[in-house]
A and B are shown apart, each in its own frame.
Chain A
Amino acid sequence: MIRRLLAVVVALGMIWAAGLWRDHASAGMVLYKVEPTGIAGYNPGRWTDTTFVLLIGSDERAGLDGARGDGLHVVGLNAKAGRATILNIPRDTWVDIPGHGEGRVNEAYRYGGAELQAETVRRLTGAPISYVFTTTFAGFIAMIDALGGVEVDVPYLMSDPNSGAAFNPGPVRMTGERALAFSRNRHIPDGDIARTGNQGQLIIHGLAELRKKGTSPLDVIDYLDVLFRNVRTVGIDSTDLYRLGWMTLQIDPSQVRNYTMPARVGTVGSASVVFVRQPEATSLFVDFADDAILQNH
């Protein structure tokens, strides 16, 4: 049977559509529209030039009790400027989780799913997140393979039996499995903080691969066709998806900044966590949330 690449995923901040294998069911990918609350002047019903999307890589898998948001990235898209910023949030960042007290930021997903995860990140960063895309490991692998793999510039030697990452430095063409190993490897300098930056880099490479397949309005609809069959959508109008896809595909990957939240490693009791480093973080969040472009960083 001929394998037909129907296409890929549109991506809000970048990879959001999944590709194809005929007859493959959704691999745990969901795209939500969430309503920002408490943000004066923001009207989620109206298309604006700046849009924020939270990408969540969930560790949901068989045998695991309670999935968490292990990869957290706020993608800010500025259509008018043709630029975007990926703000990476280390998963162990110690924050206030609405209704649940303090905890690691990724625990919000286990407590309240995508909505609570978005609200928690929104309160941390101030970015008016209006869309959330979640994917499981299986979904992530499916997306990368649907793109035909992705070329990643590996920054340093990786040899980690836990994640399966084994790469020499330099450009490496990765399958979905290998890209997952790369993105999960935390046994690297700066551990989880550097890992989340690597994930952001992978997202940019994914956007580049998607753009190679076409960026016309018709391409966007073709991608949506695949997305509709592979990703569950919640509360999102088709025209919003179209515009989001169009907007994303017009952004040149060279115009995407990949920036990790200023952080420092620490402990709470016996637990290793990541603390937001102030005042640098607040300065960054303000710079990011107004127009998705980092003018001062």
Chain B
Amino acid sequence: MPPTRLAAIAVAFALAVSGCSGGDDDDDATDDTDTSSTEFERASVELEVTRAHLVSPHQARRDLDAATRDAVTGVVEDLLLVTSATPLVEGKTGGGFADLFTADAGARAANTDRAAIFDEGVPRFGELTTETATVAMTGLAGSMDPATELVIATFRWDVRSAERPKDRIVREGQLHLVPDDGDWKIGAYTIVVTRTVDESTTTTTATTEPDE
């Protein structure tokens, strides 16, 4: 079964940029716009959910409830938005990173594993062309408590620069999410990112364990 392609990311446009070029080779169109407004690309991420199952003791595998599915999808989308789409499109990292992780995992992701987690230091891609943007998840319910106790989310995020199609970022990973005060947070992760820029390809990996 071929994987579903192109679930999407939206790169939006707003207003016209004026006078921001300072030497950049900006589009000619910017010369004609109102200097009081700015056109810039805004990053966004939308993932296609390809599977959302729940495993629990003594019951057949079944669908994960919609609330958990949507919440977990939102966390993964936010992670990609903050760490990849925003840096690539807007040239900066997004906000709210720490809210996506448990404390220990967040500290590790922001420091030790930063090179794999963030697409920083990469030339701006501008508008993105999405090859793949999917997430699949499997939850595990409790033996004594039927609530979902953890979710493993597997994602693939494969985007190119619309301007320079050879420049490409492919992020794949498994995230271990746990409930935390009404939210779902990433408690552990395995992330592999392959970056192709200027015809040079590098692969970086980061892995933590559930109790780290």
- Total interface residues in chain B, CB < 8 Å: 24
Q: Would you list which residues of chain A between 77 and 107 have a CB under 8 Å from chain B?
A: 79
* Interchain pairs with CB closer than 8 A, number: 58
Question: A218 vs B152: C-alpha distance in the bound complex, in angstroms?
Answer: 6
Check: A162 CB closer than 8 A to any chain B CB.
no
Please give, as numbers and ranges, the residues of chain A lying within 8 Å of B190 by CB-CB distance.
216-217
- Pair A228/B57 contact, Cβ less than 8 Å: yes
- Pair B55/A243 contact, Cβ less than 8 Å: no
Question: A237 vs B144: C-alpha distance in the bound complex, in angstroms?
Answer: 7
Give min CB distance, B133 to chain A, whole Å: 19
Name the residue among A216, A221, A229 with the largest chain B CB count within 10 angstroms.
Answer: A221
Question: A243 vs B190: C-alpha distance in the bound complex, in angstroms?
Answer: 16
Check: A239 CB closer than 8 A to any chain B CB.
yes
Question: A229 vs B61: C-alpha distance in the bound complex, in angstroms?
Answer: 10
Question: A237 vs B141: C-alpha distance in the bound complex, in angstroms?
Answer: 9
Q: Would you list which residues of chain B between 57 and 100 have a CB under 8 Å from chain A?
A: 57-61
Question: A236 vs B144: C-alpha distance in the bound complex, in angstroms?
Answer: 8
Chain B, residue nearest A234 (CB): B143
Q: Would you list which residues of chain B between 186 and 207 have a CB under 8 Å from chain A?
A: 188, 190
Check: B181 CB closer than 8 A to any chain A CB.
no
Question: A121 vs B55: C-alpha distance in the bound complex, in angstroms?
Answer: 33
- Pair B138/A228 contact, Cβ less than 8 Å: no
- Pair A238/B149 contact, Cβ less than 8 Å: yes
- Pair A243/B211 contact, Cβ less than 8 Å: yes
Give min CB distance, A241 to chain B, whole Å: 8
- Pair B174/A238 contact, Cβ less than 8 Å: no
Please give, as numbers and ranges, the residues of chain A lying within 8 Å of B210 by CB-CB distance.
217, 242-243, 246
- Pair A225/B61 contact, Cβ less than 8 Å: yes
Chain B, residue nearest A218 (CB): B152
Check: A250 CB closer than 8 A to any chain B CB.
yes
Please give, as numbers and ranges, the residues of chain B lying within 8 Å of A218 by CB-CB distance.
138, 152, 154, 174
| Dominant secondary structure at the B interface | strand
- Pair B211/A79 contact, Cβ less than 8 Å: yes
- Pair A246/B142 contact, Cβ less than 8 Å: no
Please give, as numbers and ranges, the residues of chain A lying within 8 Å of B143 by CB-CB distance.
233, 236-238, 241
Please give, as numbers and ranges, the residues of chain A lying within 8 Å of B58 by CB-CB distance.
228-229
Check: A224 CB closer than 8 A to any chain B CB.
yes
Chain B, residue nearest A232 (CB): B58
Check: B56 CB closer than 8 A to any chain A CB.
yes
Chain B, residue nearest A224 (CB): B55
Chain B, residue nearest A47 (CB): B211
Contact residue among B55, B149, B174, B176 (Cβ-Cβ distance under 8 Å from A225): B55
Question: A250 vs B176: C-alpha distance in the bound complex, in angstroms?
Answer: 16
Please give, as numbers and ranges, the residues of chain A lying within 8 Å of B140 by CB-CB distance.
221, 224, 238-239, 242
Please give, as numbers and ranges, the residues of chain A lying within 8 Å of B154 by CB-CB distance.
218
Give min CB distance, B72 to chain A, whole Å: 14
Question: A236 vs B57: C-alpha distance in the bound complex, in angstroms?
Answer: 10
Question: A225 vs B56: C-alpha distance in the bound complex, in angstroms?
Answer: 7
Chain A, residue nearest B55 (CB): A225
Please give, as numbers and ranges, the residues of chain B lying within 8 Å of A243 by CB-CB distance.
210-211
Chain A, residue nearest B138 (CB): A221
Please give, as numbers and ranges, the residues of chain B lying within 8 Å of A233 by CB-CB distance.
57, 143
- Pair B55/A246 contact, Cβ less than 8 Å: no
Give min CB distance, B174 to chain A, whole Å: 5
Q: Mark A232-258, 1 if CB is under 8 A from B, else 0.
A: 010011110111001000100000000
- Pair B174/A217 contact, Cβ less than 8 Å: yes
Q: Mark A191-222, 1 if CB is under 8 A from B, else 0.
A: 00000000000000000000000001110011
Chain B, residue nearest A231 (CB): B57
Please give, as numbers and ranges, the residues of chain A lying within 8 Å of B152 by CB-CB distance.
217-218, 221
Please give, as numbers and ranges, the residues of chain A lying within 8 Å of B188 by CB-CB distance.
217
Give min CB distance, A146 to chain B, whole Å: 17
Give min CB distance, A23 to chain B, whole Å: 12
Check: B25 CB closer than 8 A to any chain A CB.
no
Please give, as numbers and ranges, the residues of chain A lying within 8 Å of B141 by CB-CB distance.
238
Please give, as numbers and ranges, the residues of chain A lying within 8 Å of B17 by CB-CB distance.
none
Q: 11 extra interchain contacts, Cβ-Cβ under 8 A, other than A237-B144, A239-B150?
A: A217-B152, A225-B55, A229-B58, A229-B60, A233-B57, A238-B140, A238-B143, A241-B143, A246-B209, A246-B210, A250-B209
Q: Write the residues of chain A forming the contact surface with B, with a CB cutoff of 8 angstroms.
A: 47, 79, 216-218, 221-222, 224-225, 228-229, 233, 236-239, 241-243, 246, 250
What are 10 A-B contacts with C-beta separation under 8 Å? A217-B190, A218-B154, A225-B61, A237-B143, A238-B56, A238-B149, A239-B149, A242-B150, A242-B210, A243-B210
